[in-house]
Structure 1
């Protein structure tokens, strides 16, 4: 059976995190694809900051977190669709915040063509994705998490408390109607929540797998969210909930701003 691009990328990253290094010729033989196909996959993965290219192969990035990378390749096309749509809401000259999650990571490449954009981040990975002329990146300080390459804690929250007038784009590990957007760890929930509370507008990014699957820690209440961007139309139950709470729902197939 022929593997899809997503399946190939997952296989390549799995091998990379097992061995630390992959060879183009060996991967091509193991996956039953051409050397050119593997090289193209490696170039694209390197372009997304997921590995470092070497002669004849690729190396794992220093301080890379396998759990983060497994999330990056999970629902990749959905997250790219969300990222593309989210970036369309960003205008030249805007000031925005991106959280350190994988959905915002997929949004970052679509921002490179913007001009006079100021992007506030707590993620070194995303800051690297935005290294391009015309963009100004404000990297928050704080308690550094090497596994995730981001900054959290009181210092990061204090920095956010000094900022105003930006749009906050943030992801979630799960959504519950009675609880709101959630995260699996309290540090992420705290810093993302602070970013939303200090923003002039909060835009939630969540793919279809996050609905009805709340995690332990609440990021913010639903009343703090103005827009939700997802990859496909939510269920009628959720659409009714968003209409009731006044949250605008956007997804690629929607024909109007109300979804």
Structure 2
């Protein structure tokens, strides 16, 4: 089998099963495990898969640039955002992560919300200009891919705030890989922000469910729930719940 045909088979297997075990696929196709590993390396380099020990997982489309992500699953993001806003008590202090799903949360948040919003995203802060809420913007080095502040200065500022809720954005929610994102410094900043809130909720629109990225953010049991509009009776939802995730229907 030619390499191009093998890669098509591997991508179809990722879409169907949500994971690839290199040893099993090699035996099934009657080719060497080294050939499968080489194909997976090339798929990983092309952003089509994420290599893990023994195989690969589907790559998240949510690691695309910010402008591209605004057009991905907008209806799903609106549903997730509306469900997230319903979790916010009156007068609460809320940390909002960066990202396009979090921006949808701001769009769903009533202008009359009178609590406090803390964010490290200038995009989110600007979107809150006409809300009654107090807004605190955490500064630092701007990570342009996600339009958020990160690095030592941002982490230091974040370590001095406290909140009732943190709405966490990730690029992947997978039963094997857990909660992941595409940048190591951004993952560290997300962990810092989560440590400053009494409860952390994950915002997971449909394109993130069953996908994975390179860097771990948090384990499922470190969150109060994953807000998603993926149906609870689907195979991926059942796999996530078996892995310890609490799914909150949007």
Taking structure 1 as the reference length, the TM-score comes to: 0.66
Alignment of 1:105-254 (within 5 A): 105-146=103-144, 148-234=146-232, 235-239=234-238, 241-242=240-241, 245=244, 247-252=245-250
Task: Verify: 1:75 aligned to 2:73, yes or no.
Answer: yes
CA contact (8 A) 1:163 1:198 kept: yes
CA contact (8 A) 2:112 2:131 kept: no
**Aligned equivalents of 2:211 and 2:239: distance in 1?**
18
Shift of residue 113 of structure 1?
A: 2.8
Q: 1:179 to 1:92 in 2, by over 3 A?
A: same
Quick check: 147-156 or 72-81, which moved more?
Answer: 147-156
CA contact (8 A) 1:97 1:169 kept: yes
**Aligned equivalents of 2:175 and 2:243: distance in 1?**
11
Compare relative contact order (CA 8 Å, sep 6+) and give the higher one, 1 or 2. 2
Instruction: Give the corresponding residue for 1:94.
Output: 92
**Aligned equivalents of 1:198 and 1:148: distance in 2?**
21
Q: 1:217 to 1:238 in 2, by over 3 A?
A: same
Shift of residue 244 of structure 1?
A: 6.1
Q: Runs of 5+ in structure 2 lacking a partner?
A: 1-63
How many residues in Structure 1 have an aligned counterpart in Structure 2?
A: 186
Taking structure 2 as the reference length, the TM-score comes to: 0.69
**Aligned equivalents of 2:163 and 2:146: distance in 1?**
27
Q: 1:242 to 1:147 in 2, by over 3 A?
A: closer
Quick check: 149-158 or 197-206, which moved more?
Answer: 149-158
Instruction: Give the corresponding residue for 2:20.
Output: none
**Aligned equivalents of 2:230 and 2:205: distance in 1?**
8
- CA deviations 1:57-115 (Å, max 9, x no partner) are xxxxxxxxx92011011100100111111111112201111111111011111124343
Aligned-CA RMSD value: 2.0
**Aligned equivalents of 2:69 and 2:240: distance in 1?**
27
Q: 1:114 to 1:187 in 2, by over 3 A?
A: farther
Q: Runs of 5+ in structure 1 lacking a partner?
A: 1-65, 253-259
Shift of residue 179 of structure 1?
A: 2.8
Q: 1:133 to 1:221 in 2, by over 3 A?
A: closer
**Aligned equivalents of 2:142 and 2:163: distance in 1?**
26
**Aligned equivalents of 2:228 and 2:120: distance in 1?**
23
